[in-house]
Structure 1
Amino acid sequence: MELLRLLEKDGRMPVKTIAKMLDVSEEEIEDMMRALEKRKVILGYSGIVDWTKVDSPEGITAMIDVKVQPKRGVGFDEVAERIYRFKEVKALYLMSGTYDLSVVIEGRTMSEVGQFVSEKLSTLESVLSTTTHFQLKKYKHDGVVFEDGDEDHRIVVSP
């Protein structure tokens, strides 16, 4: 569990550092990581990018709440599988509350996202309704705060 928590915080942490922190050999850490990858406990390693600081179009991220009619015997799994197979879908969650599924998608433009919702998502037979929310600004993601840190927060004093 400790190894997983360390990797979740920083997937690039050197094996040597992890071994020292957990007081085990580097070989043991490498063996544990291979075993966890083989069992699909560790599914991948990713970086968090602040796309606002890159000179290229950011694209659009939307969160879509979806109300579905679950199917007898398979519940929400069948419709969820159909939805997560779309290339635009970056994340999909079964939720409690008013809506059943929360879908996170990425597109180049708002109209591309709208086209996905109207032509692909809403046309699935189990989908009853959708509500689309466009991400306007990212403040924090996976525990990482997005801020410049260069801004002067001192109070302006005038005579």
Structure 2
Amino acid sequence: MKENEIELLRLIEKNANLEVEKIAKLMGKSIEEVRELLNQLEEKKAILGYSTLIDWAKVLDGEEVTAMVDVKVTPARGVGFDKVAERIYRFPEVKAVYLMSGAYDLSVSVKGKTMTEIGNFISEKLSTLDSVLSTTTHFVLKRYKHDGIILHDDDDDDKRIVVSP
């Protein structure tokens, strides 16, 4: 990948809301060059989408519940874990699926309105798949940082406890 492409990707990874004019200025390129580069990267599927990180706890009365589910599976002959992962990521409750090293094969991020809703998804849909051997569910209790962005850092006061002899 070219240096210009990597520079552009790093800029929009930090802030997908950057205007083309600002990107052009930061890169020392023309607006047309930046637009063309963006189009090329989108066509190559290097840019898969643009997203915004929202702190839903500040917007909604009841925040969605997130669970990280460790899944042990039997890989399919000839295709390994890919077919199993594809079957799992097609569920609308599933937000992310990762192949992992360690005791479990897949890490699955699931969102729902309640813990019960997530529990029902796991017991009725996920764990009933033929290739799923076991699951372990971890519910997210609080988010501190996501995608490099610190959440809930509203005031910069020093909160260390004063220790004196």
Q: What is the match of residue 72 of structure 2? A: 67
Deviation at 1:138, TM superposition (A): 0.3
1:102 corresponds to 2:107:
yes
2:158 to 143, 153, 156: 153
Matched letter for residue 63 of structure 1: M
1:113 corresponds to 2:118:
yes
1:138 corresponds to 2:143:
yes
Unaligned runs of at least 5 residues, structure 2: 1-5
Q: What is the match of residue 10 of structure 2? A: 5
For residues 78 and 39 of structure 1, the distance between their equivalents in structure 2, rounded to whole angstroms, comes to: 24
For residues 137 and 147 of structure 1, the distance between their equivalents in structure 2, rounded to whole angstroms, comes to: 10
1:89 corresponds to 2:94:
yes
Q: What is the match of residue 34 of structure 1? A: 39
TM-score (norm 2): 0.90
Deviation at 1:151, TM superposition (A): 6.3
Deviation at 1:59, TM superposition (A): 1.4
TM-score (norm 1): 0.93
SS of the aligned residue for 1:71 comes to coil
Q: What is the match of residue 57 of structure 2? A: 52
Q: Structure 1 residues 45, 149: CA separation in 2 closer, same or farther (over 3 Å shift)?
A: same
For residues 45 and 56 of structure 1, the distance between their equivalents in structure 2, rounded to whole angstroms, comes to: 26
For residues 85 and 144 of structure 1, the distance between their equivalents in structure 2, rounded to whole angstroms, comes to: 28
For residues 136 and 8 of structure 2, the distance between their equivalents in structure 1, rounded to whole angstroms, comes to: 39
**Matched-pair identity in %:** 62
Q: Which deviates more from structure 2 when the two are superposed, residues 59-68 or residues 12-21?
A: 12-21
Deviation at 1:52, TM superposition (A): 1.5
SS of the aligned residue for 1:30 comes to helix
After superposition, what is the alpha-carbon deviation per residue over 1:23-63, rounded to whole angstroms, capped at 9, x for unaligned?
Answer: 11110100111111122111111111111111332110000
Deviation at 1:88, TM superposition (A): 0.3
Q: What is the match of residue 125 of structure 1? A: 130
SS of the aligned residue for 1:70 comes to coil
Deviation at 1:22, TM superposition (A): 1.1
1:18 corresponds to 2:28:
no
Matched letter for residue 69 of structure 2: I
For residues 22 and 148 of structure 1, the distance between their equivalents in structure 2, rounded to whole angstroms, comes to: 31
For residues 156 and 80 of structure 2, the distance between their equivalents in structure 1, rounded to whole angstroms, comes to: 50
Matched letter for residue 67 of structure 1: K
Deviation at 1:149, TM superposition (A): 2.5
